[in-house]
Structure formats: structure tokens, C-alpha cells
Structure 1
Amino acid sequence: MQVSALIGKPVLSGSGERLGYVTALYFARNFSRISCLVCADAEEEEFILPARALLADGDAVIVGRQRLSEPVGVPSPIGRTVYSHTGEQLGVVADIRTGDAPKLVLHGPQKEECFPLSIAAVGETVILYPSEKERRAAGSPTGRNTPERQKRASAAAKKTPAKEYAPAADESERLCRTDLLGRTVRRSVFDDFGRPIAKAGEKVTAEMIGRARRSNRLLTLSMNTLTNFDILT
């Protein structure tokens, strides 16, 4: 399953009632499975579903009645910038492959690559080390957001100027979503009724992408996050 594809999907009850849409994911600490789904209803009120509530996943997700009072697990790193252990920017996290040996799917400027999550330090950004041993030596257990990790991630980000990788025209909507996350909205985007989907100056969030998707404004949102450099290249 493409875990990132869950973001933005409609959420339905077993009786067919439309409950809302998925805005974010949380994983077990070792990333072996999804722990819960954060969703929003028509009024943009948040509700949280444990993974066990998921009954079916297709064009929409069908869920049971279970609810959580707050998210459990580790926030999804999908959409976060990835750096090498030397500070080189490699791309963004496009997906997570759960299981006994979870992997991180990296969307770089040229292609997608998979890396074991055991070599990744996951914080506000993601740092890939040559081996699990070196990652452990750096003092950054996977899934634990330590002050040391944040300090290294910030240092890595300062070493290499941020680059924005615009997705190719024929890439899937999944990559469009992950590439949009965190971008700055240059011009406000509104739905057919004049309600704001995204305001100029805001950072793109999964919730914002969900609103754009439901209003058929995903392409408009994407275009309104492009810089002059993106357009020229």
C-alpha cells in the first residue's frame, strides 16, 4: 500500500456516511505499521481514528466507530526534506513502506530510491547515514525527536541551500502532494464559493491539500506555490 496516498482520501462510515477526509498519519515508533489517522470533518473539526478502525482502503477509506482522544505514535515524515550525513540535500520523503523492515522512499531530483529506515534519523528533517551503526553513533534513535537530532538537522540545512524539486508533469498525484507539503503559497486560492483554501504566505499542509483536492483546486494550489525559478526551469 502507498501510505502517502491515504492523505486527502474521503473517510466513510460502514453505512456510507461521509465523515471527512484524512489529513495526516502517525506510525508506530519503529515505522512497522500505521498507528492512527488524523482526519477532519466538513467543518474542519479534527477527529482521530486508530489504525484498527480502518476496514477498507480504495478510492475512499471505510472505517469503524473507534476513535482516539489524541494521536498516538510518531508523526509521519512524508514531505520532510532529506539530507545525507554530510549535509547534502537529497530530496523529500515521498512515502513509507511499513512492515518488518520498513523503508523510506526518497523522491530526489532525478529518481525515487528506497532506504532502510534503520539508517535514518527522523526529526524535523531526515538525515540518512551510511549504516545503522553510524546512525546510532550519531546518537539519533529512529523515531525519537531528540535535541541532538534537531541541532544536527538544523546544521545540515544551513550547510546546503534549500532546493525545490518541481515534480515532472507525468508524475502521480501522490508525488504532487508530497512535493507541495511545506511550500509557501504565493497567491491565495479560493473555492467556487469564494472560501479560502490557502492564503498567501501560508505553508502548505496536508489539510490544505485535502481542501484543494475536494474543490478541484489542487493544480491551482500547485501553480500558486511555484517561484520564478521553478517556472523558468
Structure 2
Amino acid sequence: MKLWNGTAFVDVSALKVWNGSAFVDPEAYIWDGSQFVKVWPTFTPFNEENINRTDQPVPVGASGCWVTVGGAGGGGGGSQAAGSQNRRGGAGGGSGAFIARVWIPIAALGTTYTVAVGAKGTGGAGGTTAGGAASAGTNGGASQFISGSITLTAGGGLKGGGGSSSGVGVGGAGGTATATGFTATLVNGNAGENGNQTTNGSTPLPALGGARPTGHPAGRGGAGGSNLIAGVAGEDGYTLIEWV
């Protein structure tokens, strides 16, 4: 759209209008009989799934975005090496937290946005010497959406502990979801199971990683190791930004 400035038609992309409290980008709507439909500026909706962004400009012409954010799962701990009748398995990692799909209007966003997709936690190594201790997994990474004063964070699940002569691995806690500057539905992750132990020299059962929170398409915690076996990695986090 262009406006006549007295000598030529000029682009109005930099034009602002006063809405009663602030200068904002102009938009034109028409009433279709049941709702107002934006007719200018035209905008083609698009999605960004599991894409990291840093200070990306908010798309011109967008009405806002739907945001879904899930943290990554923590890695499971490894299992103690064989060497005695007492065999202690690794623990499961916690699952990532989840922030359910939430609408953020353009007026609430800043001029740029940042998206981080949490990386999965790795599984801990199993013990390598008779009766030797195993390694813990690593924590899952947080997933985030940030724009202006809004920060939505779905924390990653914590690592599962490794089995050792002093006891089984302790399950990792689930991630924590937080929201600042905006209201959203927050769901914390689930803890992984503690490691299992046998006293007759048999193989302990693997401990389960934390289950995905309801609605989270990823972010499960990794299972704990069993009988010299390394723990299992968690699942990567998840982000979906739907611009409309």
C-alpha cells in the first residue's frame, strides 16, 4: 500500500498510527458479518518447527503467533559393572516440561523474537571394572520463546544417576515450566525411576525415563542402564511457532 505525499506515492511500511496509548503499525479490517477480517497488510501464515532463532525480526503484517514449547529429556544413568552379587542399575532421566499452545497477539510482542530448542541429555557410561561405578547421564536442555517482555521457558529434565557400590542411581527430576510477561498453561515434566538392584548376581531391570507430559510431542527422559550397559539418551525438546 502507498500514500500520496504531495509529490509521489510512497511506501507506508514505516508509518505508525496512534492507538490511544502507543504508536503502532497500521492495519485495515473489514466486517464479514460475523468477525473482523484483516485485509491489509496482506500476510501469508507460516510455521517454524524446531528452528533456533536469535533476535529474528517479528514478521511484518502478522497478527501474532501461536507458541508451543517443550523441554528436552535428561539422559539415563549407566549401570554398575558386574563383580559381586549386588548389581545396581542406573536411573532414568526426567522428562522435559511443556507449555501448551498459547496465542500471543502482535501488540504483546517485541520487535524481535528468539527461539531455543533444548538438546537431549546423553546417557551415562556403564562401569568398566568389576564392581566399578557408572556415570550419570547429562541434563536435558531448556526450550524457550522470548520476545519483548515475554519469556516462556520449558525446562529440560534432569539427569539420571549412575549405579555404584554405594547404591542405585537416583532418578532425574522433571523439568520446570515458567512464564514471565504473559499467561500460559504450564506443565512440569515427570521424574525418571530410580535404578533397580539385584542381590543374587542376576541382571537388574532397566529403570524407565520420565514420561512425556500430556500434550508434549517429545522430551521423554532416557532409560537407565542395566548390567554394564550405558544409559539411554533423552529426547530432544520441541518448539512450534505459528505466525498468522
TM-score by length of 1: 0.22
Greater per-residue helix proportion:
1
Whose RCO is larger (CA < 8 A, sep 6+)? 2
Greater C-alpha Rg: 2
TM-score, reference length from structure 2: 0.21
